[in-house]
Amino acid sequence: MASTSAGKTKPKKKKYKSKQPLPTPPTIPPQNAPIETPDALRQNIEQVAGATRAAYKFLSDNDLQLHPSQALALEAQISAAARSLSEIHLSLSNNSSSLSNPPPSETKRPCWFHRFLEDAADEYDSRWTEWFRMSKTSFTLLLRLLTPSLSGLAPVQPNYALGAALFRLAHSAHYKAVGNRFGMDSATACLAFHTVCKGVVDKLAHLFELKTDINRIVVGFGWISLPNCCGVLGFDRFKVEGNLFGNDGFVMVQALVDSEGRFLDVSAGWPSNVKPVSILRQSEFYSRVEDSKELLDGPAFELKDGNSVRQYVLGESCLPVLPWLITPFDETDDMDASRRAFNSVHKDAMKMVATAFGKVRDQWQLLTKEWKEGCVEALPFVIVACCLLHNFLIKCSEVSPENNVEYTRDFELPVFDGEVDESGNRIRNALAVHLSRVSPSS
């Protein structure tokens, strides 16, 4: 039988009173309405603004004495704090008139470089090396060489343009930071930088001395028991944004280096997915050796056992053996003593390329950054300019504190598995026998 509730009264629900009063719903201000600033918040903002102004004054008063890395780091932090304060000012618009302004980004006194020139007049002031990677004497010499190339930058003075470019190269500084120190806007700092790099490549190209100073180069390698050697040929790479230069985002550089760590030839700008042997065969250096016979055409060297070796360069195992390019023997368990001796000397010699590039990166920190897409076209040009500046500093006897440091490469290249040239192999065998006789361990 179906049941029904008709005629029944519903029980009354009990009402419970809250012991705590209900919270008042928050009042949502209209859009864009000014926000009231509590006294405590205003006080905190004033304290932050005061600390930022104090830091700015410290930087302004000591910018000639601070180390470049310290000055740039402090400047970046002050700028970030100033931007945050400006944003707070905009948010608290109804109280902005009562809040202190953030520190100014510029001063009315002469720019940093103008004051630096007056303060660092001493020829031996170490700040020249700290800021520009060279002494005042070398800076003056370089300025004299490049001034004709910088005349188109007027009204920017050549010494300001050179200083700005070297500062950016040495400390990887943004154009705005460079411009602030040298009294120019970011666009002018950019123009000065590229003009100076072009001037370096044009005016210092003679410092690639393979053809003009071959006797010095051969003698240098002779001191490490490599007779008639004219250089060590190797590769390095520099990081670029995304996959602009191959699958792994690097641009490859081929370089020939002498026993003193000078660059004798540099070919930059190759995508990282191009094989080293292809880079070699498309380079101007290869053309000058193979086609024009312009290089490595000096007299042969007579070894004590009656064999002779023509002029040659040592190359990485990723390259083929050629009549003038000698790479190491394949590593096997049954290698004889002469081949082991050759590979040992060859390995030590190849470190010269890594060390030369390591010193270039230490000197010119801009090359350690990841280059963005909009700037990557200039990277090969900048690399060549930095290598020439490296040679220039060696020529001027500018010795870096890390002069004896060896650098290692952080990547490997595939071993060449093609045919071995018989003429090149004969030279390699003759060198192996020679090295096994002169090696201290033999």
Q: Is the Cβ–Cβ distance between 179 and 185 less than 8 Å? A: yes
At 440 the pLDDT is 58
Torsion of CA 149, 153, 157, 158, to 10 degrees: -20
DSSP helix/strand/coil, 267: strand
At 26 the pLDDT is 47
**pLDDT tens track for 207-217:** 999 999 999 99
How far, in Å, CA of 208 to CA of 205, rounded? 6
At 17 the pLDDT is 45
In DSSP terms, which residues pair with 251 in a beta bridge?
238, 271
Cα atoms in the Cβ-side hemisphere of radius 13 Å centred on 59: 25
119: its two tokens = 């303060």
Angle of the 422-438 helix axis to the 337-363 helix axis, nearest 10: 90
Q: Is the Cβ–Cβ distance between 116 and 127 less than 8 Å? A: yes
* Bond into 299 cis (ω within 30): no
At 16 the pLDDT is 41
At 177 the pLDDT is 93
How far, in Å, CA of 360 to CA of 354, rounded? 10
Going residue by residue through the chain (442 aa), what tens digit of pLDDT does each one get? Answer: 444 443 444 444 444 444 444 444 544 445 454 545 567 766 777 767 776 777 666 666 667 777 777 777 777 677 776 677 676 766 665 544 444 444 554 446 799 999 999 999 998 999 999 999 999 999 999 999 999 999 899 999 999 999 999 999 999 999 999 999 999 999 999 999 999 999 999 999 999 999 999 999 999 999 999 999 999 999 999 999 876 655 578 999 999 999 999 999 999 999 989 999 999 999 999 999 998 888 999 999 999 888 999 999 999 999 999 999 999 999 888 889 999 999 999 999 999 999 999 999 999 999 999 988 778 889 999 999 999 999 999 999 987 655 567 788 888 999 999 999 999 999 999 999 999 988 655 4
Query: Which amino acid makes up residue 181?
Result: R
Q: Is the Cβ–Cβ distance between 384 and 268 less than 8 Å? A: yes
How far, in Å, CA of 64 to CA of 130, rounded? 11
At 214 the pLDDT is 95
